[in-house]
Structure 1
């Protein structure tokens, strides 16, 4: 019985093609505006683009759509790959894949765990939601700072401009906000 090591992909190997972007570059301003204005749906696109670019650059047999579905649960493997690529380039960027992942997951768990009893106190629910969301936004921004550094575009200038497609996504997000908050306005 032979062991075929070529069929076993090293899950966190740095991408082989150094010229192709391995991760999704976006300016922090655009990331925050798009995430807020699309009611968080831009985050789904963000996960997908990161995994799709990584697959293309690394040649690994991963499924970006499936990894996108599990989003934040697979943030640590994504950021570990960013960290490895930075190390492979012999540069240093102070970020913790685990710390960022925990800052994204813990507020999600707390929000789910407390939502049933917080709904009886709408003001407390609102304040708690804002605080937990702010922690998640900080995690997202820190992840993007590391990704932009990794790709050699620290300012995210390669994807800083808003496109007509971005505008359509924001209109959709505005409509979603309208649907969500309409009952509160009645």
Structure 2
């Protein structure tokens, strides 16, 4: 199913679980689309396929299972099975993401969608460490990340205040 990763490059997008969570919450979930995009880029490069990462990320509600399944399958091939079923992660992420349609304050539950990416990213991190031990682990926030956290975090706090503090 997979071709060997390019020299020095991990098979999946590398990002720490903390950074993934912080960036997801502070960007109202948009970092999750970036997460899908980067994983589809790595998958396309590794498999030599004609996958279009942008569209797979844009329509992630339809392609999330396929992404999780590729992480699962790569783990099976390397003798490291994924601990949480791909279907459960896909269903959980899809349902939780759709909660943004709920009325105040229940739509806040959609912020928990990132929880369903964490097991897949933990597996990807384990697979990356085996396939490419010296790769950049992407655990630190860059200057751009800090800017996004500051701006997005401010909007998140203001939205929380607007939702839960009486007028």
Which TM-score tier does this pair reach, normalised by the shorter chain? 0.7 to 0.9
Over alpha carbons, which structure has the higher Rg?
1
Change (3 A) 1:182 1:54: same
TM-score when scaled to structure 2?
Answer: 0.79
2:147 alignment partner in structure 1: 168
CA root-mean-square deviation: 2.7
2:68 alignment partner in structure 1: 79
Task: Report how far residue 172 of structure 1 moved.
Answer: 4.0
The 8 Å contact of residues 25 and 111 in structure 2, kept in 1 or not, is answered as: no
TM-score when scaled to structure 1?
Answer: 0.72
Q: How many residues are treated as equivalent by the alignment? A: 160
**Any unmatched runs of 5+ in structure 2?**
none
Q: Alignment partner for residue 139 of structure 1, among 98, 116, 125?
A: 116
- Within 5 Å, which residues of 2 pair with 1:39-78? 39-78=28-67
CA distance in 1, matches of 2:27, 2:21: 10
2:138 alignment partner in structure 1: 159
Task: Report how far residue 109 of structure 1 moved.
Answer: 4.1
The 8 Å contact of residues 71 and 120 in structure 2, kept in 1 or not, is answered as: no
Q: Per-residue CA shift, 1:94-148, capped at 9, x if unaligned?
A: 2210010011112334553xx3xxx3xxxxx31x3344533x2321212211221
